[in-house]
Amino acid sequence: MPAERLDDNWESIPHAEAIAIALAIFRNSPQLDDKSAFRALVQRGIERSLAAHIVEFLPSAYCRVLFLNSGVQFSNSFTRTESPRKIQSFSWLPIWVPFLAYAESEIRRGVGRDELLMVAGRSAEFHAINQLLDQGSELKNVVLTPMSLQWPENGPDGDG
């Protein structure tokens, strides 16, 4: 189901509480790297695989929502370094649509651009777009390849 069809009431979004915890961590501690953010989520009681998905995919969802009408073409798939030949679709992630819906709900509620960028800016896609713009590309000409994720499905080994 497309994100825009979800109830505008953000609390109805699956995992809204975990997403809100993650956003507080991302915004209040922007210096944390991904492993540290993952650990902070797990320490707050979020299950490992959900915490990993939040760190890996929530910034990407925010990036895609911010660049929605920009002309940037995002890939609909990703891989993991542990199995690079296994290309996975975002549509198969049960958490993907809720992440997009939450990002869209924040925009509708008037969350400031700086706060949105604190999340989107954690995304490798955001950094790639910025690098291409710095090299003179135009947004309408940006085509991104699938993301390559470094962690196993349930997060970094030995952490949490």
- Summarised one tens digit per residue, pLDDT across range 24-38 is 999 999 999 999 999
- Whether residue 4 has pLDDT greater than 80: no
The residue ranges of every structural domain in the chain are 13-149
d(CA 139, CA 87): 25
Q: Is the pTM here over 0.85, yes or no?
A: yes
**In the chain, how many H helices and how many E strands?**
6, 3
How far is the C-alpha of 64 from the C-alpha of 74, rounded, in Å? 8
Q: What is the pLDDT of residues 78-123, one digit of tens each?
A: 999 888 788 999 999 999 999 999 999 999 999 999 999 999 999 9
Can you tell me the distance from the alpha carbon of 6 to that of 12, in angstroms, rounded to the nearest whole number?
A: 8
Residues above pLDDT 70, as percent of the chain: 89
